[in-house]
Structure 1
Amino acid sequence: MLLLAHSRILCRQPSLRAFYATIRNLRQPQPLPEGDESDPSESDFILSILRANPSLRDTKSYLDSFGIQQPHHHKKSLLPSLLDLPAPALRPSARQPPTQDVDIKTTRVISSILNPVYCRTALVKLQGPFSDRQLDSISRGMVYLEKLGLVSVIVLEHDKLPRGDDRERTAITEETNRVVAALEAQGAKARPILGASVRLGPKPGDSDAPINGMPLLEAHVFPEDLAPIRSALRAGEIPVIPPFALDSFCRSTRVNANDIVAALARGMAEAAELDAKPQTQKPSEPHADYSEDINLTPMRLMIINREGGVPSYARSGYPHLLVNLTSEYNYIRDTFDPAWLRDRPSALSNLALAHTCLSYMPPTSSAVMVSHRSPSSLIANLITNKPAVSSSLPHALLQGNRKLTPDTPTLLRRGQPIRVIRDVANVDRAKLNHLLQTSFHRTLDIDAFYKRLEKCLDFVIVTGDYVGAAIVTNEPVPGSSSRPISYLDKFVVLPSHQGDGTVDFLWVALHDESYGLGHPFSINPNGGKEGKGEGRDLVWRSRSNNPVNKWYFERSTGYIRMGSWILFWCDAEKRLRLEEARSDSGLSYIEDWESGRLEEWAEVVNKIPSAWK
């Protein structure tokens, strides 16, 4: 939308004054629409997929996980000679298409029959109780996910049922059967797993000390304990599991559903590893019978409740959009307002659950905390693996975005540690060189590049072990005593980490350290200035044919074209807000403090030498 507005402005208003004013007006928050977002049409399967609006990268990533899988060489085909069958003979009078076309079409049809959509598993914590209507909506979402290849393993929780109640077991069993009935009413097959699949206590052999800062699990699972779940999945049924576990006396007792989910996350991942190992002889364990039917490794963790996501201080209590658990987990807990516990009493415990589960799940996995009012967002999350609204968008657009509501889901990723480096001597040059050259597919002029950084580096933000970096320099203005220009020299993420949240995490850190500096919501745990100081306008350039420009258009305040280059900038948000407060009508035209700055930026940026050979 913003890109379209940009193009219209260039066509209609050639003057810089009108162009810049229109861009700024687009940044003004828009009123939220009235009424409930849960329109009945949201429940439509096809419409929900279209609303996800996946990019080409999103689509490819989804197909890589759920598309037709190449058969393993060690497996024998069910119909070994079917692919070799000759095409049927036609009468001489009939038109016979080329043999090659017939073979291709026949192979594709047979391949689609013998290789259905590859199923993956999701762990779902269903935190009720829910009304019949709410449960129907949730069940419809589970069925839609199953159609897309994600089969849910559902664990129930009942917040309103006190522990130790005389009817506790009966009530939990009835609720389990109620969920099964709701799923079947939506066309799915479901199975209640009423026997305890989880054992209380730490797993034998585990150390008593926490590993990597993770707390010890209160329950554990052996591979053979998963036989009922495997059996249900093999039969095409959604297993529904009550929060029961076996104690040391082999008694089935009710426990916190978080303990069940965490134990299953670890146990299913470990069982999948056993399945992947080559078998020299047929094992005796029950789980081995089903090892080739479905991948038990949890691909998603879904926490469906009545509260929604984790509230954020940066959004006045509205949910976090995207959480980097590695770098933000402790900070979110430290900045959690106790007043939020009134409406979201389980927010912190669910945050801890996601933190624990994702430590056992693959790095590409994610967790989503979502209200029962937003079932369609589960489909968008599955296809794109992205938050409903990008957390790296300008704060004004986030405030005015109608999709941002108290029920907006929170997407959680394991993420990467983020740190800010201010001295070139502390940069690992070998790793940074590899990152730049691998991502840009060009040869870096190493000596010239670092010689320039030694003179003008402001800071480098590094994610993980140099899987991403943002390099910002101070570019002096010739013949002027004004402050140097804050220039984004490089913004880069390894191709293997594009689409896993690293890009958004890196840009948010860049925002907090540059043009967003000085705002309370820019206080971050990344080891930078932690919100202290004054924000500065951030400027950068990009080739006009760069496919990333669409992403830049959405995050910049404005841009101008300079031949084969496009100059982007982001206004310092704190100063912009102060200037708007001084004017009753807001900022509509170029102010005195802005006069001539675009020409100055263009002159300086055009003279910055290339970093490539």
Structure 2
Amino acid sequence: MPSYTPACCQLAAKLLRSETRKARSYATIRSLRETPPPEIDDIPSDNDFILSILRANASSRDAKPYFASFGPRPQAPRPAPVLPQRDESIPVESREPAVVTEHPKVSPLIASIIDPVVRRTALVKVQGPFTQVQLDSIARGMVHLEKLGLVSVIVVENDDIQRGEQDSRSVIIEDTMRLVSCLEKHGARARPVLGAIVRLGPKPGDSDSDRDVALEAHTLPSDLVPIRSALRSGEIPVIPPFALDSFCRSVRVDANDVLGALARGMVEAESQKSSSSQATAAADASIEASGEIDLTPLRLMIINREGGVPSYARAGFPHLLINVESESKHIRETFQESWRHTHKTALSNLALAKTCLAYMPPTSSAVMVSHRSQSSLIGNLITNRPAVSSSLPHALLQGNRKLTQHTPTLIRRGLPIRVVRTVEEIDRIKMNALLEQSFGRTLEEKDFYDRLKHTLDFVVIAGDYAGAAIVTNEPCSDLSQPISYLDKFAVLPNHQGDGTVDFLWVALHDESYGLGHPFSANPNGGKEGQGEGRDLVWRSRANNPVNKWYFERSSGHVRMGDWVLFWCDAEKRLKVEQGRRGRAGLSYVEEWEEGRLGSWMNVVQKIPSSWRK
């Protein structure tokens, strides 16, 4: 029986209350749109929605980004009401008794779930063609997301109808209207925006050096009026891929061009609106009062028939998490020829994600998902993490039943990853700031770097010292080679939750205990998969809250007083030994494992602290 977290249970409880209210007013609202009300069976079941939330299995920590984005904004305290002065000429016994009304206090956490104050937007590419059943499934997912505060701005595409074909415009418009009908059938309000809202060509005033990402189209603030109007009215805008050319004709273009232009245009429009506000508090109050939606997209969702980007490391199963900043080139280079037939648009969609994420906030993400896995979008919204962590041991990922051809691929802007091997290559000022902010302690700088001069093996650095993993070679007289010891693993607090932790650990895996496998050949300035993996050892305080994360990624652990010793076995050695044994498999303790725990503990316990007392 799975254990459901308080965050999930509160989300479920919210629906039982809010959906009852919604059902009462549903017929009245729909009648204003001059369409007959849907049959009651056509409205998506609350149970399906609640189960989708519970399946996300989000911990309170996982759900924090959701509450931060969709919870009520802090408001200035309201001034106390001015009461009329008491007339002292009236006898006390003649005065009417004061009536004191006490309103029950609602927990801020519950209030943020029951009534999200600030709704946010997602850019969605519905990449068909889809059957009616498939379209119903997609529409149901969009309705579920809207209930959680994420309103979709949908761009429709049809891969089977090429641009320039006869009747291509009419087919695209028909697909747009079908999706609008499906959304309304499942309880949403939708509006087709059939006019072109983007313009072909670069934006006036742009120079080649303004942006690293080249866009084929752009928008002006006035072009977004239909989208704002739909969102203010509580409607989901559904847009065909049309654009205005230089002769002001509406022509069909690639949906990716429309989405890229919208990503930039919506972010810039919201930024201009925020800068024109006199105060943030006043802006938040106006948003709450008018029902205005923050146009800045928090998610890019690509819903197609192919699913995610196939991975060479998972025998064609999708990538779980992609760092586009450092991995996109390698993914293109390792993309197999057969996938160009089974996943024809995977690379172009990856390029689309890279384009949009360049404009969207750093905490934003893109997800490529099959129409068969639309329910996973709720889990992604609440946790903003992949269905299965990419930093888990490879053996666990291979045998995980959650991994299928339809597992979504989560894409983050990410950071460049590099490996350095000498102390001289380390920027001490930035490294000191990273370590001290991450651990909340003061570094004993001289002793720390003096020790690294003699023991350093390598350092994995994420971005401009947003994160780092420092690995040393610790001499051990009982073993034939030094111990590979993870001395420090640190990520800046403001990068915890944006994927940096997973990206950093995957790079650490590729340079240490995962070395020698083809899937460790990621280009990060290190050995790129060449060499023999080594057991990786590290220690952590017994009360460290991060230990749960370490337990999931280590091969084993042993307690030693106030510390816990963790280790990851060299994966290639285990694989070779397992192949040699065949069906016999590995024993509980191999010959080369005997006595190593005692040797590790003796060495690790003697490693001096890096912090000032």
> What TM bracket, shorter-length normalisation?
0.7 to 0.9
Deviation of 1:447 (Å): 1.1
Q: Which runs of 4+ in 1 moved over 6 A?
A: 40-43, 80-85, 106-109, 111-115, 288-292
Deviation of 1:295 (Å): 0.6
Matching residue within 507, 514, 517 for 1:516: 514
Structure 2 residue 101 is matched with structure 1 residue 67:
no
Matching residue within 548, 551, 573 for 1:550: 548
Q: Deviations over 1:139-174 (max 9, x none)?
A: 111011001110000000011113223222221111
Q: Deviations over 1:202-252 (max 9, x none)?
A: 11111245733x2x2111100000000000000000000001111111111
Q: Deviations over 1:11-35 (max 9, x none)?
A: xxxxxxxxxxxxxxxxxxxxxxxxx
Q: Deviations over 1:454-487 (max 9, x none)?
A: 1100011111111111010000013x46100000
Q: Is the 8 A contact 1:369 1:409 kept in 2?
A: yes
Q: Deviations over 1:472-506 (max 9, x none)?
A: 0000013x461000000111111111111000000
Q: Is the 8 A contact 1:42 1:376 kept in 2?
A: no
Aligned to 2:19: none
Deviation of 1:102 (Å): 2.3
Instruction: Flag the structure with more relative contact order, 1 or 2, with Cα contacts below 8 A and sequence separation at least 6.
Output: 1
Alpha carbons of structure 1 residues 245 and 538: separation in structure 2 relative to 1, 3 Å: same
Aligned to 1:468: 467
Aligned to 1:162: 162
Q: Is the 8 A contact 2:65 2:384 kept in 1?
A: no
Matching residue within 41, 55, 59 for 1:55: 59
Alpha carbons of structure 1 residues 603 and 242: separation in structure 2 relative to 1, 3 Å: same
Q: Is the 8 A contact 2:320 2:409 kept in 1?
A: yes
Q: For residue 157 of structure 1, what is the amino acid of its counterpart?
A: E
Deviation of 1:42 (Å): 12
SS in 1 for 2:372: coil
Aligned to 2:185: 185
1: CA distance, partners of 2:429 / 2:82:
50
Aligned to 2:241: 243
Aligned to 1:576: 574
Supply the RMSD in Å over aligned alpha carbons. Answer: 2.9
Alpha carbons of structure 1 residues 106 and 369: separation in structure 2 relative to 1, 3 Å: closer
Aligned to 1:135: 135
Structure 2 residue 602 is matched with structure 1 residue 599:
no
Q: Deviations over 1:156-200 (max 9, x none)?
A: 001111322322222111111100000001100000001110111
Q: Deviations over 1:65-90 (max 9, x none)?
A: 001122479xxx9xx999999xxxxx
Alpha carbons of structure 1 residues 604 and 421: separation in structure 2 relative to 1, 3 Å: same
2: CA distance, partners of 1:560 / 1:113:
41
SS in 1 for 2:514: coil
Alpha carbons of structure 1 residues 575 and 180: separation in structure 2 relative to 1, 3 Å: same
Deviation of 1:521 (Å): 0.2
Aligned to 1:503: 501
Q: Is the 8 A contact 1:475 1:604 kept in 2?
A: yes
Aligned to 1:123: 123
Q: Is the 8 A contact 1:199 1:245 kept in 2?
A: yes
Q: Is the 8 A contact 1:275 1:291 kept in 2?
A: no
Structure 2 residue 235 is matched with structure 1 residue 231:
no
Aligned to 1:438: 437
Aligned to 1:492: 490
Alpha carbons of structure 1 residues 259 and 105: separation in structure 2 relative to 1, 3 Å: same
Q: For residue 52 of structure 1, what is the amino acid of its counterpart?
A: A
After superposition, residues 172-571 of structure 1 pair within 5 angstroms as 172-208=172-208, 211-212=211-212, 214=213, 216-279=214-277, 293-478=292-477, 480=478, 482-571=480-569
2: CA distance, partners of 1:278 / 1:313:
48
Q: For residue 190 of structure 1, what is the amino acid of its counterpart?
A: A
2: CA distance, partners of 1:210 / 1:315:
38
Q: For residue 49 of structure 2, what is the amino acid of its counterpart?
A: F
2: CA distance, partners of 1:555 / 1:428:
29
SS in 2 for 1:298: strand
SS in 2 for 1:125: strand
2: CA distance, partners of 1:113 / 1:406:
33
SS in 1 for 2:432: helix
Name stretches of at least 5 consecutive residues in structure 2 with no aligned partner: 2-43, 85-92, 279-285
2: CA distance, partners of 1:106 / 1:592:
61
Q: Is the 8 A contact 2:126 2:304 kept in 1?
A: yes
2: CA distance, partners of 1:361 / 1:191:
24
Q: Deviations over 1:505-558 (max 9, x none)?
A: 000000000000000000011100000000000001111111111111110001
Deviation of 1:115 (Å): 7.0
Alpha carbons of structure 1 residues 399 and 263: separation in structure 2 relative to 1, 3 Å: same
Aligned to 1:22: none
2: CA distance, partners of 1:63 / 1:562:
38
Q: Is the 8 A contact 2:191 2:230 kept in 1?
A: yes
Aligned to 2:145: 145
Q: Is the 8 A contact 2:264 2:356 kept in 1?
A: yes
Q: Is the 8 A contact 2:479 2:599 kept in 1?
A: no
Deviation of 1:291 (Å): 9.2
Deviation of 1:442 (Å): 1.0
Q: Is the 8 A contact 1:42 1:48 kept in 2?
A: no
Q: For residue 373 of structure 2, what is the amino acid of its counterpart?
A: S
Q: Deviations over 1:248-286 (max 9, x none)?
A: 111111110000000000000110011101358xxxxxx
* Percent identical residues: 67
Which deviates the most, 157-166 or 497-506? 157-166
Alpha carbons of structure 1 residues 72 and 229: separation in structure 2 relative to 1, 3 Å: farther
Q: Is the 8 A contact 2:412 2:499 kept in 1?
A: yes
SS in 2 for 1:341: helix
Name stretches of at least 5 consecutive residues in structure 1 with no aligned partner: 2-39, 86-91, 281-287
Q: Is the 8 A contact 1:512 1:522 kept in 2?
A: yes
Q: Is the 8 A contact 1:41 1:47 kept in 2?
A: no
Aligned to 2:31: none
2: CA distance, partners of 1:48 / 1:411:
18
Q: Is the 8 A contact 1:83 1:107 kept in 2?
A: no
2: CA distance, partners of 1:601 / 1:42:
54
Calculate the TM-score normalised by the size of structure 2. Answer: 0.85
Q: For residue 69 of structure 1, what is the amino acid of its counterpart?
A: R
2: CA distance, partners of 1:556 / 1:114:
39
Q: Is the 8 A contact 2:70 2:116 kept in 1?
A: no
Alpha carbons of structure 1 residues 49 and 232: separation in structure 2 relative to 1, 3 Å: same
2: CA distance, partners of 1:604 / 1:41:
59
Aligned to 2:20: none
